[in-house]
Amino acid sequence: MKTLVSCRADRIPVSGGIPSGSQPGSAQGAADGMAPASPNPAVSPRWRRQSHRPATFRRTLALLLVAAATACAPDAWRPDSRYDAFLDQVQDRCGNLEVGDRRIGADLIQGPDSYFLDLTSRYFHRQISPANYANALAGTFASDPGSAAIRCILAVPRSNDPMPMPMPPALLQ
């Protein structure tokens, strides 16, 4: 009979390549001093801790998602009739033009593209400059900052504009 050495340096008798006590029908496991693992949560405090982690993790994840959604588009939660009027003008004047391969009216304003609406809202509320708006649109939709569609959007007057804003020189090229 051979003996195997386990990680704990215990000697396990082996006969025929199978450790004794691990053969089917053998009840030696409990006799070796090794009790079978108990699924009873009262016996294992570690099991209890792990079972509560997923609920805490889910709550934390839900709070983070709500915070992220709120931070992405701060004006998306309240109506803004001036911005809606601006979008109507953009759609009327520029709706058939394309930024990259996406049509302004059908794909960007009426479609599910929240990035375009968020970026346009920041431009409308003067949180970003016309040049930054043009570069962001061009970079996102694989277009040119001086394309006809972007120039058309920039030519639509925003509210409280005494007169239409002149185009940045870089966009007039």
Place of tokens 């009873």: 40
- Check if the beta carbon of residue 133 is closer than 8 Å to that of residue 156: no
pLDDT at 152: 95
pLDDT at 150: 94
pLDDT at 58: 75
pTM for this model (two decimals): 0.50
CA distance 9 to 11: 6
pLDDT at 2: 56
Query: Is residue 140 exposed (0-12), middle (13-18) or buried (19+ Cβ within 10 Å)?
Result: middle
- Listed as ranges, residues in the chain with pLDDT below 50 are 9, 26, 29-30, 162-163
pLDDT at 111: 76
pLDDT at 97: 92
- How does pLDDT run across 19-37, given as a tens digit for each residue? 555 555 545 544 555 555 5
Residues 6+ apart with CB under 8 A from 109: 87, 90, 91, 95, 116, 117
- End-to-end distance of the chain based on CA atoms, in angstroms? 90
Backbone angles phi, psi at 26, to 5 degrees: -85, 135
Residue 54 carries which side chain, given as an amino acid letter?
Answer: P
pLDDT at 163: 45
Residues 6+ apart with CB under 8 A from 82: 124, 159
pLDDT at 136: 94
